[in-house]
Structure 1
Amino acid sequence: MGGLVEAEWYDVRRAQSGKPATYTCPFCPRKLPAFSEHVLIRPLGRGDGRRHAHMACVARAREQGRLPSREEWLRTQRQARRRSRGGLFARLFGRR
């Protein structure tokens, strides 16, 4: 994802600003004026590495599975933990 920090999950929220700034969408080479309706993407929910992007570009990336939310990422972690631990019987009797 060009210009976007690689992370396990992303926080995505709507953004719009009145300031005279122009951003470059990390998913396409087009410019994005700050006053237009767009989204702010924050890797791991933090401020460092945040990027502004077109709503349509983010929707496309989400459909392709390239921008997992924290909830989606946590779900995969729980599933992986369940698989690695085995069932109740295996955990109780130390069998894997």
Structure 2
Amino acid sequence: MEQFYYIYVLRSLKDGKNYTGYTKNLKIRFEQHLNGEVGSTRNRRPLVLIYFEGCLNQQDATHREQYLKTHYGKMFLKNRLKQWNNEESNLI
């Protein structure tokens, strides 16, 4: 079986903004973010994983990552995560 590539979205609990990336190993990459080993999210911790998708190859993953960073991709995520966003707002 082939290796999956994962597209993931993290939410910063510090500034409320999302970070989108892709990786071959979601568990290790998420731990790197949590430990401050990734420059782009180091000062935005704490972070929570709010969404991920699996792709069969790197090209599909990079295209999907780029899409999720567009206006339409952000609208897709907003609609996809509507329930999670409602639950999160009840916690604050």
TM-score normalised over the length of structure 1: 0.24
TM-score normalised over the length of structure 2: 0.25
Greater relative contact order (CA < 8 Å, ≥ 6 in sequence): 2
Q: Which has the larger radius of gyration?
A: 1
Structure having the higher helix fraction is 2
